[in-house]
Amino acid sequence: MVLEILVPILMGALLKGADKFSEGVLSAVEETAEKGAASVFARLKAWWSSDKSAAEDLGKFEEEPDIYAPVIEARLVKKLTAEPQRQAEFAAIFETMGSQIEVFQTIARAHGITGAKVEELLRGSVNVHQRIDDASDVVGVDVKKMGA
């Protein structure tokens, strides 16, 4: 998995974790994603523990993810380039997770709405969160083929 793909995935996991850390309460559906993000965050913390500056930036990222996201992203690119074995480790983690689809919809009125329409999902997860006041013909997830 090349850096152009891996770094955005890592940043997405970290931002999801940072967002959940600040909210404090998780729904059962979000908890699985949170565990994955927390695992990625814990691995980065352990990896960067010997680099005082990087460890401090990661701590600040926990407190203010919007401000420190570009700093963490730049450090990821630099460190993953310098340590290809770490790049392979993180790539393997994300490859075993499979695709992750997350859909959020807030709708006042609707007819004929679908949260996610997926042709084929070999492995991974789909989470659809719909907050609808008045609707008819509502589908959360429409999957044609799931699994091998």
pLDDT at 22: 41
3-state secondary structure of 104: strand
pLDDT at 125: 78
Cβ count within 10 A of residue 54:
20
pLDDT at 26: 39
Q: Give how far the C-alpha of residue 6 lies from the chain's centroid of Cα atoms, to the nearest Å.
A: 12
Q: What is the pTM of this model?
A: 0.54
Cβ count within 10 A of residue 18:
21
3-state secondary structure of 102: strand
> Measured between alpha carbons, how far is 146 from 148 in angstroms, rounded to an integer?
7
List, in order, residues 6 or more apart from 140 with CB less than 8 Å away.
114, 115, 116, 128, 130
- Write phi, then psi, for 121 (nearest 5 degrees): -130, 105
Instruction: End-to-end CA distance of the chain: give it in Å, rounded.
Output: 22
Confirm if 120 and 133 have CB atoms less than 8 A apart.
Answer: no
Per-residue pLDDT of the chain (148 residues; tens, 9 = 90+): 444 555 666 666 665 555 544 443 334 444 545 555 667 778 888 999 999 999 999 889 888 888 888 898 888 888 888 888 888 887 777 777 677 777 888 899 999 999 999 888 887 778 888 889 999 999 999 988 887 6
pLDDT at 68: 86
pLDDT at 111: 93
Domain positions in the chain: 3-97, 100-146
Q: What residue ranges in the chain does DSSP mark as E strands?
A: 99-121, 124-146
